[in-house]
Each structure stands twice: as structure tokens, then as C-alpha cells.
Amino acid sequence: MTINLHDFDGEHSLTFNAGGLAADAAVVAAGHEPNGYFWEGFVQFAWPDVAADLEFDSEAGMFCAVGSPSDLARLKAALEPVITSPEAVRDIIARAEASGFEFDD
């Protein structure tokens, strides 16, 4: 699983392919579709302070966040250990649902 940081003509983004992640089974077991839109909501719930400074341009097969290099580096550092851990993803989904958060997947 690779999280990519891009710099294209001064626009900075972070992307990864949705699907095929170690945490997908946990997402599906919780009744969600592990697509780019799900991960967008996941980031907004799990790290609202980081997400507030980003714009999102996800698609079904890809998560995409656009922002400053420093905000994207913070997001990458937060995301990398979580999306490879079904247990961590399960925990965050449970907390989100308990709080009434709605995933848009």
C-alpha cells in the first residue's frame, strides 16, 4: 500500500488507491464500501484538525486530498499506520458511528 505525495505545478496532493488495503475487510465488515469517498469521511472524522485545512477530490477508486505540503505530511504520518491495521480502522469506525457520524460511501 502506497501513499503518494504529489507536486504538480505548485498544487500539492496526497493520493492512494482505494481497495486492496489491509483494512478493507474491516471496512466491509462494518457495512461500508472501502472506496475513496469512505476514506475521505474517515479522515474527516479521525483527524478533523488536519482535514479542516485540506480539500478533497476523491473518486471511487482513489482517495485524494489537496493542501499544503506540511498538512499533507501530517496526514500521511497519521494515515500510514492506521490503514494497514484492520483493528485501528475498526476502532475509528466504531467511534464514528457511536458519535452519529455518517460515512458517504
Q: For residue 83, what is the domain's CATH number?
A: 3.30.1370
CA atoms within 13 A on the CB side of 62: 11
pLDDT per position as a tens digit, 84-100 = 899 999 999 999 999 99
| Range(s) of the domain holding residue 73 | 4-98
Domain count, the chain: 1
22 belongs to a structural domain: yes
Considering only the C-alpha atoms of the chain, give the largest distance between any 2 of them, rounded to a whole number of Å.
Answer: 41
Q: Residue 74: enclosing H or E segment and its boundaries? A: helix 69-83
105 belongs to a structural domain: no
pLDDT per position as a tens digit, 24-52 = 999 999 999 999 999 999 999 999 999 99
68 belongs to a structural domain: yes
Q: Judge contact between 18 and 62, C-beta under 8 A.
A: yes
Strand partners of residue 62:
17, 59
83 belongs to a structural domain: yes
Strand partners of residue 64:
15
Q: What pTM does this model have?
A: 0.93
104 belongs to a structural domain: no
58 belongs to a structural domain: yes
